């Protein structure tokens, strides 16, 4: 129970302070939240604890933005700054997807890729993001997918009305 509360607190911190974020629920390793301004809902998880920069708050999320007609959009905040020109790969069990990325953030290249990734997340066990850090070391952020499908569904339902 203590771990769930800690996860909920850490995940809520990933949201912008001005977004007036409210919790929907915690499902396994994932939480669902809704924000009023601008209106959006999302499922979010912190990576499995490991070697990372603790003050950067990496996360993986799937968001719904009804007014923008965006459904199930993946967004990943990397634990370290990415080396320019390095690919960012997302692995879900035995499936591999290439993401587009900025310095610390990565997304699916389009809505069709978002749909494929979210479908894989629903049945997967573990998700891992891999790239090269600015200093040349490997960035490997791993996420448990336990609870991801339920958290994604809760976010979708919260933004459907």
pLDDT per position as a tens digit, 57-67 = 899 999 999 99
pLDDT band with cut points at 50, 70 and 90 for residue 3: very low
SS3 of residue 117 by DSSP: helix
Of the CA atoms within 13 Å of residue 36, those in its CB half-sphere come to 4
The model's pTM: 0.85
What phi and psi, each to the nearest 5 degrees, are found at residue 50?
-170, -155
Above 80 in pLDDT, residue 126? yes
Sign of torsion, CA 116 119 121 124? negative
pLDDT band with cut points at 50, 70 and 90 for residue 52: low
Average pLDDT over residues 33-38: 90
List of domains in the chain: 2-158 (2.60.40.1880)
Strands (E), 28-137: 30-36, 39-45, 59-65, 70-77, 88-92, 95-101, 105-107, 126-132
52: alpha, beta or left? (left if phi > 0; alpha if psi -120 to 50)? beta
Continuous segment of H or E residues that includes residue 8: helix 2-13
* pLDDT tens, residue by residue, 131-160: 999 999 999 999 999 999 999 999 999 998
Picking from 157, 141, 161, 123, the residue whose alpha carbon sits closest to that of residue 42 is 157
């Amino acid at each position: 129970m203590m771990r769930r509360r800690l996860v909920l607190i850490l995940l809520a911190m990933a949201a912008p302070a001005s977004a007036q974020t409210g919790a929907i629920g915690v499902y396994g390793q994932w939480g669902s939240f809704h924000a009023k301004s601008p209106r959006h809902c999302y499922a979010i998880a912190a990576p499995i604890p490991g070697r990372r920069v603790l003050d950067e708050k990496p996360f993986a999320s799937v968001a719904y933005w009804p007014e923008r007609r965006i459904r199930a959009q993946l967004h990943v905040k990397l634990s370290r700054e990415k080396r320019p020109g390095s690919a960012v790969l997302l692995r879900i069990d035995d499936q591999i997807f290439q993401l587009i990325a900025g310095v610390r953030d990565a997304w699916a290249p389009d809505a069709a890729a978002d749909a494929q990734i979210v479908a894989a997340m629903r049945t997967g066990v573990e998700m891992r993001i891999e790239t090269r850090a600015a200093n040349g070391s490997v960035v490997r952020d791993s996420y448990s997918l336990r609870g991801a499908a339920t958290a994604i569904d809760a976010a979708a339902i919260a933004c459907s009305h």
